[in-house]
Structure 1
């Protein structure tokens, strides 16, 4: 008998449960973010989709790499999760260096593009600006997109943005020219 495979659906459930009581900066359920990122990767293979749903699990929960492997998450998906997890990067406080590191891996770049796009939803950016008027939303997400977009094909980016944040499509067109 073969071992049951860790599926995309299992990743969705794990993401929802693992982030269940967490809130984002706007006090919204954090699980909405991880589910949206995973959903945005629906056009890609299972490992990329699983990594999308679980992209913040090593950052924001006690679940370890070994626990993920023990659950049956593939080495490839765990590798993607590790690459996008800031605390595993050389200098977790250097956001730009972290983006450069992520952009060296195609699959991690796709996950980070989905993460960035969801964090850049116009409604979210406006709400953050209203909540902290003296600390306007940073330009680091736009700067990160310039690096990330060069690391994968425009068609792949388009598939992600179409699902999660179509407002970024004109920016993609400008950067692709």
Structure 2
């Protein structure tokens, strides 16, 4: 029999001795601490019930890309999601500090959890409830850029530099300074 509670990938029991005694009330903590936007990224998780919204904020007019940028800029932001998934989606829901009460749920909404880049690049980069195997990719060869560098290279995401759009959002041309 498995325990009714478990930690997400990249997280571990906060108090293992209590966890082993079937007391899961202390919850989980990140294995790797966040670096406050410098090296953090987001892990997309689906098939779960969103965390407790006690420490969250929402904005009905933000796009998902604006939601990610807002979360990236705030060191206390730990996750974000689209507020309304109907009709192509709209709005932004942001979580701050701890993520509590996440459960498996047959829902199509996606939650983007802030993780240390070392967790994203070194061990795994995708998780799906229907396929619980971790999908490994060699990301060591890919360069990483922080948000400040990308904003500078795109002239602060200027609409004049937008060259298209794909499933991940807008695509910008990068202004290289030689």
Asked if TM exceeds 0.5, the reply is no
Structure of larger gyration radius:
2
Relative to its length, the structure with more helix (as a share) is: 1
Structure-1-length-normalised TM-score: 0.28
Structure-2-length-normalised TM-score: 0.28
